């Protein structure tokens, strides 16, 4: 479900400006609630909010969640692509009460210089606070990370893996940086004539003169990240306890494949 479009932030890898625009446009809370009621009347009990920035207007989000509660709508919901600087205990508690079971963050890196390169305008402390708050609220926490920035070394990537493992994340996604048409990164390398204007999706690897590592090396490091994350002691036990405690099996089963496709 899309309840708003646009995002005032300008992450350098994002190509949404080309298709959607940066200007934020939102539907009213009442309009959104009318659609949610229609969805429920059709027999559905799950919603994934795939807005560019669903939590940007906290007051509107609160009104939507209050409306779901007031109408006694029995829903399992997912919030995809939340920014960590929107973390708010009161808002998260309201979302949980309304039926939000999973929240997905765009974290991207465990290195301040890489976050700056991506123009994320977030800090490691903000990331830690948001993820810990989401986990303590009860949400199943998904997060995206990107490896392959042009100056990124093995130390950078190791830092990101360690950072991901240090956070109470339930399901990470590790991506190889891609220069997508319309993004600021893509525009920059087109102007520098590193890639051609009709190269719409280009991996950030040495073969494309866009990184230190080959694509094969990046794929191996991404695989290493998944192995390191999932094979930690007690991780599986922790996840089983959390899933049973919060009854998240249905939403996780439905949501993870969809989140992977969306991103």
**Least confidently predicted of 89-103, 201-215, 228-242, 248-262:** 248-262
pTM of the model: 0.89
pLDDT at 108 over 70: yes
What average pLDDT is seen over the chain? 92
pLDDT at 184: 95
Nearest CA among 68, 70, 71 for reference residue 79: 68
Residue 249 is predicted with a pLDDT of: 57
Where along the chain do its domains lie? 4-262
All residues at 6 or more sequence positions from 190 whose CB lies less than 8 Å from its CB, including other chains? 196, 197, 199
Q: Which two tokens stand for residue 122?
A: 């977030």
pLDDT at 49 over 60: yes
For residue 24 the two structure tokens come to 């934020």
Residues 6+ apart with CB under 8 A from 262: 48, 50, 80
First to last CA, the chain: 15
Q: What is the mean pLDDT of residues 150-170?
A: 97
Per CATH, the number for 4-262 is: 3.80.30.20
């Amino acid at each position: 479900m899309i309840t708003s479009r646009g995002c005032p932030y300008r992450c350098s890898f994002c190509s949404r400006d080309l298709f959607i625009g940066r200007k934020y446009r939102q539907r009213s809370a009442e309009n959104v609630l009318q659609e949610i009621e229609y969805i429920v009347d059709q027999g559905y009990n799950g919603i994934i909010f795939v807005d560019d920035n669903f939590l940007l207007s906290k007051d509107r989000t609160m009104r939507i969640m209050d409306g779901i509660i007031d109408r006694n709508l029995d829903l399992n919901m997912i919030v995809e692509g939340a920014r960590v600087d929107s973390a708010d205990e009161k808002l998260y508690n309201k979302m949980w009460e309304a039926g939000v079971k999973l929240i997905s963050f765009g974290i991207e890196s465990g290195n301040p210089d890489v976050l700056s390169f991506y123009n994320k305008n977030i800090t490691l402390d903000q990331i830690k606070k948001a993820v810990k708050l989401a986990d303590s609220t009860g949400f199943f926490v998904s997060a995206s990370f990107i490896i392959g920035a042009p100056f990124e070394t093995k130390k950078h990537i190791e830092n990101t893996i360690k950072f991901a493992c240090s956070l109470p994340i339930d399901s990470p996604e590790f991506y190889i940086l891609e220069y997508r048409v319309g993004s600021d990164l893509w525009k920059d390398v087109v102007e520098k004539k590193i890639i051609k204007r009709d190269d719409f999706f280009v991996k950030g690897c040495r073969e494309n003169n866009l990184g230190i590592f080959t694509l094969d090396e990046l794929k191996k490091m991404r695989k290493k990240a998944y192995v390191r994350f999932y094979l930690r002691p007690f991780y599986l036990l922790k996840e089983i306890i959390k899933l049973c405690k919060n009854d998240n099996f249905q939403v996780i089963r439905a949501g993870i494949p969809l989140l992977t496709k969306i991103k």
